[in-house]
């Protein structure tokens, strides 16, 4: 087996609800490391990767169904002779400390510039790593986990609703309102959305509101009532009750603790400065 690296990508950003653009052709393969939770999709199958993994193969994609960006890094390489063993992605837990080849790849990704000797060393060791990894899969030692069969491509209406929630979270959205946007039954929408994104749409909306509320408590001087109004709650008491259930502390108490911790930090810094001046 002969391996030749054709592209190295030290960082590939996957936007929220996006997909990696680092793909192989018919005769090449991809070596990818996911640095955040993603969904691996291939041949109408999906597997959730919560931890850092190495994925090797062709004709697969990494989807980011979260509301935050995800990052991966990888390289594209060709293999001679070509083999259909790469048609099903190989999934390996990342272990840079004990796996020599993964350590070489990590060193290459972390370099500011590429060294031809490092690339040559990587290529010369790649075939050994691949042969060993695929042999373990043949012996049944591939990564265990839940592989879900997808009924087909993701319904674009679900993508539309997910995007709509992220862009309009400050409005008083309801499941009925969301279903009307895509002309769907509310129950069907909620069940379909939960299956794809692993969270009901209204729960996802609440998570965004609560995260934003925490940011506003820490970073603004708006009152609790003003924050509640901004986030689309009918009253500050409704907002406070939901916030307390989510964080196990009221928004007022959280702000007080934040102010006190900041004051204590400022006092300690002032003491250090006074002591230094003495």
Q: Domains in the chain, please, with CATH?
A: 2-149 (2.60.120.10), 156-262 (1.10.10.60)
Report H helices in the chain: 100-110, 116-138, 156-167, 175-181, 186-197, 201-219, 224-230, 236-247, 251-277
| Distance, CA of 41 to CA of 45 (rounded, Å) | 6
- Report percent pLDDT > 90 for the chain: 16
CA atoms within 13 A on the CB side of 6: 13
* Whether the Cβ atoms of residue 166 and residue 65 lie closer than 8 Å to each other: no
- Candidates 67, 44, 6, 48; CA nearest to 207 is 67
Per residue in 44-88, pLDDT (tens digit) is 778 888 778 888 888 788 888 777 888 888 888 887 766 677 778
| Distance, CA of 47 to CA of 142 (rounded, Å) | 13
| Distance, CA of 42 to CA of 27 (rounded, Å) | 17
| Distance, CA of 176 to CA of 156 (rounded, Å) | 18
Residue 264: band (very low, low, confident or very high) from pLDDT cuts 50, 70, 90:
very low
Per residue in 173-184, pLDDT (tens digit) is 999 999 999 988
pTM above 0.85, yes or no: no
Q: Which of 35-39, 79-83, 254-258 has the least mean pLDDT? A: 79-83
197 vs 21, which has greater pLDDT?
A: 197
For 175, the 3-state DSSP assignment is: helix
Per residue in 190-245, pLDDT (tens digit) is 988 888 888 889 998 998 899 899 889 888 889 999 999 999 998 999 999 999 99
| Distance, CA of 159 to CA of 113 (rounded, Å) | 38
Count of beta carbons in the 10 Å neighbourhood of residue 146: 7
């Amino acid at each position: 087996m002969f391996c030749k690296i054709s592209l190295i990508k030290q960082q590939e950003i996957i936007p929220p609800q996006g997909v990696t653009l680092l793909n192989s052709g018919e005769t090449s393969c991809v070596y990818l490391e996911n640095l955040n939770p993603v969904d691996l999709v291939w041949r109408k199958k999906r597997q959730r990767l919560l931890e850092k993994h190495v994925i090797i193969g062709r004709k697969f994609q990494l989807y980011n169904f979260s509301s935050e960006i995800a990052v991966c890094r990888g390289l594209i390489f060709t293999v001679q002779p070509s083999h259909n063993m790469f048609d099903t992605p190989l999934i390996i837990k990342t272990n840079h400390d004990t796996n020599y080849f993964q350590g070489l790849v990590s060193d290459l990704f972390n370099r500011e510039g590429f060294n031809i000797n490092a690339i040559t060393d990587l290529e010369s060791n790649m075939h050994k790593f691949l042969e060993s990894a695929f042999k373990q899969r043949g012996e049944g030692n591939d990564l265990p986990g839940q592989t879900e069969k997808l009924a087909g491509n993701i319904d674009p209406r679900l993508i539309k609703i997910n995007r709509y929630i992220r862009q309009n979270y400050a409005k008083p959205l309801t499941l009925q309102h969301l279903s009307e946007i895509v002309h769907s039954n509310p129950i069907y929408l909620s069940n379909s959305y939960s299956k794809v994104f692993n969270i009901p749409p209204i729960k996802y909306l609440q998570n965004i509101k609560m995260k934003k509320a925490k940011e506003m408590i820490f970073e603004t001087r708006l009152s609790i009532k003003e924050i509640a109004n901004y986030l689309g709650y009918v009253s500050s008491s409704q907002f406070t009750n939901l916030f307390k259930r989510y964080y196990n502390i009221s928004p007022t108490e959280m702000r007080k603790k934040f102010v006190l911790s900041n004051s204590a930090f400022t006092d300690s810094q002032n003491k250090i400065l006074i002591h230094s001046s003495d």
